[in-house]
Amino acid sequence: MSLTLSCSLTSSLRSHEHTRIAEELGYTRAWFYDSPALYADVWVQLCRAAEITERITLGPGVLVPSLRHPMVTASAIAQLVSIVGTERVVVGVGSGFTGRVSLGQRPSRWRDVCAYIEAVKGLLAGKKVEWDGGLMQMLHEAPFAPPRPIEVPWLVAAEGPKGIAAAREHGNGVLSVTKPIPGFDWSAQVVFGTVLEQDESPGTERAIAAAGHGASVLLHVAAEFGMFDLIPGAQEWAETAYSDVPEKERHLALHEGHLHSVNDRDRPFVTTELMAATGAALEPAQWRNKLAELREAGVTEIVYQPAGPDIPRELEAFATAFQN
């Protein structure tokens, strides 16, 4: 089974330009993160990207249902479709781990996520949909939205059994961050990291600037799930890095630089040892071996998330490793 190469972008004020570069490099899709406390507005940036690209497929990866009324999301999807057509739009959705935790909330219940997906699908199909005790329908006439029905594929971000079940019932595929999820015709896997230059150590300042965010996130995961033996420095990090931050505010400090840089509290723990142990910085051949393992595990789409000060360099280096 062949692999598709996509990218995942922390929606910034330059993500539309990075999408144009990704298209030139051969990336098939560009997914934009939806975390308003951290990044630029996902739908604005998707539409900006749509206006300067010709081939690449675009979509939120993944949208957070609790942040927007279903009608708002349906209208946003329709607007993106009006620019590039249904064949270039995908919609990723999840329970909102980062998008909600960064606001001091827990992820949404999966039954609420499933209800939201079906409500948005119904609206895009031109149906009357009941929501929050009221009946609604997309009333848009030309030139306010494309005619209904509007059909686009849905990818559901999942890790546990409830999310996987939601993906099977309400989506066209599944998206994972921590481990491959087999058994789907469309199984996308997010990967973080940087491609090392020849003879470059995983602990160089360049490598840490480009991929240290991925290593630091694994410190968070290790602390959350008690996997201290697997991640170097995780125990000390959990005990000291944020110990002086009041618990009510801790989520704010934890998310500084989330998935785009290493914050000052995490930086002392992002060592050469951590970078090597987490696979955040690999040589091209090592990346190819890792991608082959993911393909064998049932992954059909690699969703590479570049970071650091030179996104074009990261996109190009990873595309070259992938294609060779």
What value does the mean pLDDT of the chain take?
A: 93
pLDDT tens-digit readout, 23-55: 999 999 999 999 988 999 999 999 999 999 999
Whole-number pLDDT of residue 224: 65
Helix (H) or strand (E) holding 282: strand 281-282
Is the domain 4-194+283-323 a CATH 3.30.70.2500 member? no
- Tell me the C-alpha distance between 264 and 287, whole Å: 28
Q: Residue ranges of the domains in the chain?
A: 4-194+283-323, 205-278
Higher pLDDT, 171 or 252: 171
- Tell me the C-alpha distance between 259 and 216, whole Å: 9
Using the predicted structure, report yes or no on whether residue 221 has a pLDDT greater than 80.
Answer: no
Contacts of 296 (CB under 8 A, 6+ apart): none
The per-residue DSSP string of 15-33 comes to: HHHHHHHHHHHT-SEEEE-
pLDDT grade for 207, boundaries at 50, 70 and 90: very high
Using the predicted structure, report yes or no on whether residue 106 has a pLDDT greater than 70.
Answer: yes
Please give the backbone phi and psi of residue 8, each rounded to the nearest 5 degrees, phi first.
Answer: -125, 125
Mean pLDDT lowest among 42-51, 137-146, 204-213, 218-227: 218-227
pLDDT tens-digit readout, 121-164: 999 999 999 999 999 999 999 999 999 999 999 999 998 899 99
pLDDT grade for 218, boundaries at 50, 70 and 90: confident
Whole-number pLDDT of residue 14: 97
